[in-house]
Amino acid sequence: MTKVYVGMSGGVDSSLTAALLKEQGYDVTGVYMKNWTKDLPGMKCPWADDLADAKRVAVQLGIDFKVFDFENEYKHKVVDYMIDEYKAGRTPNPDIMCNQEVKFKIFLETALEDGADLIATGHYARAEDGVLKMATDTNKDQTYFLYRVTGAALKKTLFPLGEYTKPTVRDMAKARGLFTAGKKDSQGICFVGKVGIREFLSQYVEQVPGEIIDKKSGKTLGHHDGAIFYTLGQRHGLDLGGGLPYYVVGKDMGKNEVYVTTDLNDETLWKDTVQLKAVHWINDAPAAGVYTIRIRHRATLTNADLSFDESRAKLTIHDQQRAIASGQSVVIYRDDVCLGGGIVL
């Protein structure tokens, strides 16, 4: 019997994943990845509750259950990376790094060493012989977050929810009486809980007040508590008040200044070419040509010409895209296949 270790987070998606695999005849073991246990001021980390929920579902299903402690690796590979990127003035995506370094690397390796044949998660995606494809539910599709996983890892991975919509998953969980059927989806940083980036970063970086400056006039319009907390295109949190809304169009980390404008057509906000570094292909690198790309999770797919310059990739986007920030990921597709992508220079 094929032995599958299911990453169980205590949510409905991973709970149903375990239930479906057991029904399909797999020898299922549930695994809770203990990646973060630290409370933040005014915000209790939900790890203990999530662990208890995952354990309850495992008992319901009559499957073995284990806890893998990856807290040190998560801090080093995901949290430290995120903090360093923000300090450099970039906008990283910690969930993408978590998938690359923890779920589909450390978890996979540990599971295989422990006797598993395969791993499974509750991601909305499809994997077919090492090829990553979009989920049937395009609204919930999570391939954007999975583009840095390897084809070799995907050959050892099952995504049982890839064919279902989220409402169907809820209904299937309720029909099976799963303890987590009505549990709300988690929000915030991967594994950390319902906490925003600003609140999280505030625990690790000093808040240094600085000026918010009108890009056109050079006038100081207000003050902020740290340029690190702002990203390109941001509108909320500026507290400038009155008149037209202002948008962040740049920042100087050395001077700790944030630059804004009311001009939605400002050239800084719109891009039709993007250089990508740290390019990763799930399998073989594609040839130069026209592909569809996604510049952020849930952004509309748009066409772009892909070309290469040494270790970097260049995208010439057919329709200008708004607020593509340095440090974020652009993911590249051919039809419903996720090929890979890179990080905006």
Extended beta strands in the chain, E state: 3-7, 27-34, 64-69, 118-120, 125-128, 131-134, 157-158, 210-214, 220-224, 247-252, 257-261, 270-281, 289-294, 302-309, 312-322, 329-334, 337-344
| Catalytic choice (19, 20, 78, 98) | 98
Can you identify the CATH homologous superfamily of domain 206-261? Answer: Adenine nucleotide alpha hydrolases-like domains (2.30.30.280)
Per-residue pLDDT tens, the chain, 345 aa: give them. Answer: 999 999 999 999 999 999 999 999 999 999 999 999 988 877 788 899 999 999 999 999 999 999 999 999 999 999 999 999 999 999 999 999 999 999 999 999 999 999 999 999 999 999 999 999 999 999 999 999 999 999 999 999 999 999 999 999 999 999 999 999 999 887 656 556 566 788 888 889 999 999 999 999 999 999 999 999 999 999 998 999 778 999 999 999 999 999 999 999 999 999 999 999 999 999 999 999 999 999 999 999 999 999 998 889 999 999 999 999 999 999 999 999 999 999 999
- How confident is the model at residue 331, as a pLDDT? 98
- How confident is the model at residue 182, as a pLDDT? 93
3 state DSSP class of 157: strand
| Catalytic choice (125, 146, 190, 337) | 190
- How confident is the model at residue 194, as a pLDDT? 63
Q: In sequence order, what are the beta bridge partners of 220?
A: 213
Q: What is the CATH number of domain 3-197?
A: 3.40.50.620
Q: Which fold has domain 270-344?
A: Elongation Factor Tu (Ef-tu); domain 3 (2.40.30)
- How confident is the model at residue 243, as a pLDDT? 86
Tokens of 168: 């169907």
Tokens of 124: 């909305």
- How confident is the model at residue 133, as a pLDDT? 98
Tokens of 210: 């600085």
Annotation marks residue 338 as catalytic:
no
Q: Is 226 left (phi over 0), alpha (psi -120 to 50) or beta?
A: left
What contacts 24+ positions apart, CB below 8 Å, involve 41-50? Answer: 41/203, 43/193, 43/194, 43/195, 43/199, 44/193, 45/192, 45/193, 46/186, 46/193, 46/194, 47/191, 47/193, 49/10, 50/9, 50/10, 50/11, 50/186
Annotation marks residue 98 as catalytic:
yes
List the chain domain ranges. 3-197, 206-261, 270-344
Q: In sequence order, what are the beta bridge partners of 261?
A: 247
- The full DSSP string for 258-323 is EEEES-TT-GGGEEEEEEEEEEEESSSPPPSEEEEEESSTTPPPEEEEEEEETTEEEEEEEEEEE-
CA distance 22 to 220: 62
CA distance 250 to 89: 10
Q: In sequence order, what are the beta bridge partners of 126?
A: 133
Tokens of 183: 């549990």
Tokens of 192: 């950390």
| Alpha helices, H only, 90-157 | 94-98, 107-113, 151-154
Query: Which letter does DSSP use for residue 243 in this model?
Result: S
